Homo-oligomer: A and B are copies of this chain.
Amino acid sequence: MNYLFDFYQALLTLKQRNYMEMYFIEDYSLGEISELNLVSRQAVYDNIKRTETILESYEQHLHLYDKFKKRTSLIDEMEKTVSTKGDNDDLLKMINQLKELD
């Protein structure tokens, strides 16, 4: 869920992002989030569950996390292969630039 949040958080509302961040990243409990935001624990729970469904639906449609995993694994393999060859500074630099794009 952390990864999905990472990829698609820009598409969430401020409130959805706020609850998700407190719950999954800063590790607050549902009770703490409800107190800090002056809403019921049930409202926080419902919002988080709904947001999880939204994030999973984005992934089903866009596959960003899935493609990221495949690309990362390929780039790592490429880096290992390049490292075994000589005269590779230019390629290693490009591989790093590719990594930074993700």
Contact = CB atoms under 8 A, between A and B. Distances in A.
Given A10-B62, A11-B62, A62-B10, A91 B98 contact: no
> How many copies altogether?
2
Interface residues of A, number: 25
Contacts of A58: 11
Interface string A22-46: 0000000000000000000000000
A75 B99 CA distance: 12
Interface in A69-101: 70-71, 74-75, 77-78, 81-82, 85, 87, 90-91, 94-95, 97-98, 101
A83 to B, nearest CB: 12
Contacts of A71: 98, 101
Interface of A: 8, 10-11, 58, 61-62, 64, 67, 70-71, 74-75, 77-78, 81-82, 85, 87, 90-91, 94-95, 97-98, 101
B81 A94 contact: yes
A78 B90 CA distance: 9
